[in-house]
A and B are shown apart, each in its own frame.
Chain A
Amino acid sequence: MTSPAKGAPGQAGAILALTGPAYLWLTVAILLPLSAMFYFSFLSEAPLAGKTGEWTLANYRAFFEQGFYGTLMLRSLRLGAEVVFWCFVLGFPCALVLAKSVKGRWREALFLLVILPFWSNALVRIFSWTMMLRGNGILERAIDWVVPGRFRLDIMFTYEAVVIGLVHSYLPYMILTCYISLQAVQDDLIEAARSMGASRLTILRRILLPLSLPGILAGVVLIFVPVIGSFMEPRILGGRNGTFIGTVIEDQFTAVFNWPLGAALSFIMLGCVGVVFALSRLALGRRG
């Protein structure tokens, strides 16, 4: 095999042959569609069925003129933040136990057990929550069994139900990314700190958390992005409380047939995600 070297003549052909097909594919299936969508977002109507849309900014203006789009965008951002928060609160300790407190075959088995659900169909798992949460469902029955009494949990079709479903969907991501970076933390380092009299809390705060920050951040991104764009989970679990920017965008494409507006809302959503990440990078950068 040739060792890696700076582009020698004759290599160009090989590189093209090797990467060309994959990138051609990505261009046709991802890049061009996104560009087309960007183009549509500036049209007054979709240029389909013999119609020609005119150049306009009305779709972007609609977002700012109709107050509820903004409200829903904020609601989706809040949902993203809350789901990320709970995933971290539940997932980090779990990753910590796995990485630093369990060893050997047990760790391997437990680790697989944690990520196993994540590999099963997301839709199916969301669906399974409807049976847990609904009125007179498993959860209410279970509580009733432990603490008898006419107790109504009333959690199905609420914002909380959507959060629960999404946390369940994305928790394994956080555990996975935190686990990988926690594992890279040398045990010797922890030992050294302890021998110098550091308490558990100090070790957690001064060593484990800072050193696993890349993993935590990877988890945050991997969770935040899809949650902002979720529409299936809110539709199934949210009921009356299931309106988010994602469901509105889906509606524009599958029901209302206002593709330009849907396109504009999509790019505004992407913009918001971008701003959130830029801001958090800034904040992190300032601190460290």
Chain B
Amino acid sequence: MRAFSLGGLGRVYLVLVLLFLYCPIIVMAVMSFNESQFYTLPVKWSFKWYGALAGNERILSAAANSVGIAVLTTLIASVLGTAASLAFFRYRFRGREVMQLLLFPPIAIPWLITGTAMLLFFFWIGIGRGLHAMLLGHVALALPYVIIVTSARLKAYDPDLELAARSMGAPPWMVFRRVTLPFLAPGFLAAALFAFAVSFDQFVISYFLSVPGTSTLPVEIYTAIRKGFTPEINAISTIVIGFSMALLLGVARFYKFGGERK
């Protein structure tokens, strides 16, 4: 039963919005197969730019950096974030609200400002910039997301389940493995994927913290757009988009974005 049906009109509208959202992405993907360097039309089909990509060490090493930082960010942010959300879940303590409030600056302050502030501070006190600085920044950005997502899952957790299992004589490790872990795992996985995506797509922070010769994929793409580039950028962008989308499908598997799904 549809509560507020807009009939066919609603569907048409939805399709139009989807068209708006996907059109440029599809165009870009198509252009990555266009032989012309200056995107002239009509399209002459070619795999030339994907071939060129394989020989472009700048982009490949940037891609390796992106993945490396994202993996480390995921590991660190998941561990630290889960620990913090466990504390929030288990204990009521003074300053709890303040601490939760402190999670918002990374989300609520424009990245331009967080990014330039990191640049200024790291440069000033000698932490310097580069991969380690980017890692520092990415983890800080990912932490609030991890804490929010795992907290949401923890909220739904009923400690009585554990109690029940234990009262039936299950040893603690068994309780953890059979009861606690299976319940919490999807939340952790979603949080980890969130962290990965936040880091992998992050441009602004990386832009201000990159040093010559060491950058991430989005920074390399931006540099290329601004300073001269070839459709290799379309090729890598198409791959990146495909990858990110696959990632989201992974998250969707473990995290109910849409709330109830009947």
Knowing A40-B120, A124-B28 touch, does A114 contact B17 (C-beta < 8 A)? Answer: yes
Scoring A residues 1 to 43 as 1 if CB is less than 8 Å from chain B, else 0, what string do you get? 1111111000110110111011101101111111011001000
A231 touches B6 (CB 8 A): no
**B222 / chain A contacts, CB cutoff of 8 Å:** 123, 232
- CB of A122 closer than 8 Å to a CB of B: yes
A1 touches B203 (CB 8 A): no
* Segment at the B interface, from A56-64, A65-73, A152-160, A180-188: A180-188
CB distance from A197 to the nearest CB of B (A): 16
A226 touches B3 (CB 8 A): no
Contact of B240 (CB < 8 Å), options: A32, A124, A175, A226: A124
CB distance from A1 to the nearest CB of B (A): 4
A37 touches B117 (CB 8 A): yes
| A118 and B247 alpha carbons, distance in the complex (Å) | 12
A30 touches B114 (CB 8 A): yes
In the complex formed, the residue of A with least CB distance to B252 is A112
B248 touches A131 (CB 8 A): no
B116 touches A262 (CB 8 A): yes
**A213 / chain B contacts, CB cutoff of 8 Å:** none
| A220 and B49 alpha carbons, distance in the complex (Å) | 40
Knowing A100-B4, A101-B6 touch, does A119 contact B24 (C-beta < 8 A)? Answer: no
Scoring B residues 84 to 121 as 1 if CB is less than 8 Å from chain A, else 0, what string do you get? 10111111111000010011011011111110111111
- CB of A263 closer than 8 Å to a CB of B: yes
- The residues in A between 238 and 268 inclusive whose CB is less than 8 angstroms from any CB of B are 246, 249-250, 253-254, 259, 262-263, 266
Contact of A120 (CB < 8 Å), options: B90, B119, B208, B245: B245
In the complex formed, the residue of A with least CB distance to B11 is A97
| A46 and B14 alpha carbons, distance in the complex (Å) | 51
B124 touches A15 (CB 8 A): no
CB distance from A272 to the nearest CB of B (A): 11
B111 touches A122 (CB 8 A): no
**A7 / chain B contacts, CB cutoff of 8 Å:** 91-94
Question: Interface size of B by Cβ–Cβ distance < 8 Å?
Answer: 94
| A139 and B159 alpha carbons, distance in the complex (Å) | 57
| A232 and B137 alpha carbons, distance in the complex (Å) | 19
B1 touches A26 (CB 8 A): no
A114 touches B83 (CB 8 A): no
Classify chain A: how many residues form its interface, as a range. 35 or more
**B147 / chain A contacts, CB cutoff of 8 Å:** 22
Contact of A121 (CB < 8 Å), options: B89, B102, B162, B244: B244
Knowing A132-B23, A225-B109 touch, does A120 contact B240 (C-beta < 8 A)? Answer: yes
**A98 / chain B contacts, CB cutoff of 8 Å:** 14
**A4 / chain B contacts, CB cutoff of 8 Å:** 89-92
CB distance from B216 to the nearest CB of A (A): 11
A34 touches B31 (CB 8 A): no
- CB of B20 closer than 8 Å to a CB of A: yes
**A29 / chain B contacts, CB cutoff of 8 Å:** 118, 136-137, 139-140
- CB of B171 closer than 8 Å to a CB of A: no
Contact of B4 (CB < 8 Å), options: A15, A46, A96: A96
| A263 and B41 alpha carbons, distance in the complex (Å) | 44
Contact of A183 (CB < 8 Å), options: B5, B94, B259: B259
- CB of A136 closer than 8 Å to a CB of B: yes
**B259 / chain A contacts, CB cutoff of 8 Å:** 180, 183-184
| A275 and B248 alpha carbons, distance in the complex (Å) | 35
CB distance from A22 to the nearest CB of B (A): 4
**A21 / chain B contacts, CB cutoff of 8 Å:** 80, 83-84
B14 touches A122 (CB 8 A): no
**A48 / chain B contacts, CB cutoff of 8 Å:** 123-124
Contact of A30 (CB < 8 Å), options: B27, B140, B237, B257: B140
Contact of A119 (CB < 8 Å), options: B201, B225, B258: B201
Knowing A7-B93, A34-B105, A187-B3 touch, does A229 contact B87 (C-beta < 8 A)? Answer: no
- The residues in A between 86 and 136 inclusive whose CB is less than 8 angstroms from any CB of B are 90-91, 93-94, 96-98, 100-104, 107-108, 110-117, 119-125, 127-129, 131-132, 136
Q: Which 3 A-B pairs have the closest CB atoms?
A: A229-B110, A29-B140, A18-B87
Can you sample 16 A-B contacts with CB below 8 Å?
A11-B93, A22-B81, A28-B136, A34-B113, A36-B120, A40-B120, A46-B124, A48-B123, A96-B6, A100-B3, A101-B6, A120-B245, A121-B237, A123-B221, A125-B25, A138-B23
What residues make up the interface of B, taking CB atoms closer than 8 Å to A?
1-7, 10-11, 13-14, 17-18, 20-25, 27-28, 31, 39, 41, 80-81, 83-84, 86-94, 99, 102-103, 105-106, 108-114, 116-125, 136-137, 139-140, 143, 147, 159, 162, 197, 201, 203-204, 207-208, 218, 221-222, 225-226, 233, 237, 240-241, 244-245, 247-249, 252, 257-262
What residues make up the interface of A, taking CB atoms closer than 8 Å to B?
1-7, 11-12, 14-15, 17-19, 21-23, 25-26, 28-34, 36-37, 40, 46-48, 90-91, 93-94, 96-98, 100-104, 107-108, 110-117, 119-125, 127-129, 131-132, 136, 138, 141, 168, 171-172, 175-176, 179-180, 183-184, 187, 190-191, 200, 203, 208, 221, 225-226, 228-232, 235-236, 246, 249-250, 253-254, 259, 262-263, 266, 269-270, 273
